[in-house]
Amino acid sequence: MAAKGKSEWFDWLKALLIAFGIAFLVRTFLFTPIIVDGPSMQPTLHDRDQMIVNKFLYKIDEPERFDVVVFHANDQKDFIKRVIALPGEHVAYKDNILYIDGEPIEEEFFLDTRVDIETNDFTLEVIKGNYGTVPEGHVFVLGDNRTNSTDSRLLGPIPIDQIVGKASVIYWPFDRFKFIGE
């Protein structure tokens, strides 16, 4: 009888250790939760939205224009912003229109909002680092709330190896549940 009790206890302990091990591996290498901190991605994301970040995607693929990404801004803080320009591209804003390599680009993610997004005019040359194009291995990111966002206009282009992953889904609050960029 005592041996059966020990065996059952050992089975439970083994199951818990396996579950914790799997959870650790998933969180470390595949997906991680984040909480949006601040208004810089409004109207797309709201302060305190809880999201899942796909950490695996950029191990096998490169970021694409308009992906919403989480990156290490410094040792203590991660930021969430939208990829606007890719390596080798020139980026500029004039009269509230995005230009990539001189061609106007429609920011379709703003079409379903009822908010007018204002972006002050700038060119890549006046951004920190005085670049002509986004350097190889980097992306240019902006917050959707262009008047209240610390992004590549202040930080300069973001190294791709500093990107944690792609923000995939808002899961809380539940009434805001949605997939991002779908």
pLDDT, tens digit (0-9, with 9 covering 90-100), for 36-90: 888 888 888 889 999 989 888 888 889 999 999 999 988 788 899 999 999 999 9
Confidence label for 16 from pLDDT (cuts 50, 70 and 90): confident
Residues 6 or more apart in contact with residue 109 via CB below 8 angstroms: 44, 66, 82, 144, 181
Establish whether 94 is a catalytic residue: no
pLDDT computed for residue 18 by the predictor? 74
Every domain of the chain and the residues it spans: 33-179
The hierarchical CATH code for the domain 33-179 is: 2.10.109.10
Write down the catalytic residue from 4, 6, 7, 40: 40
Structure tokens at 95: 């009269």
Establish whether 81 is a catalytic residue: yes
pLDDT computed for residue 64 by the predictor? 92
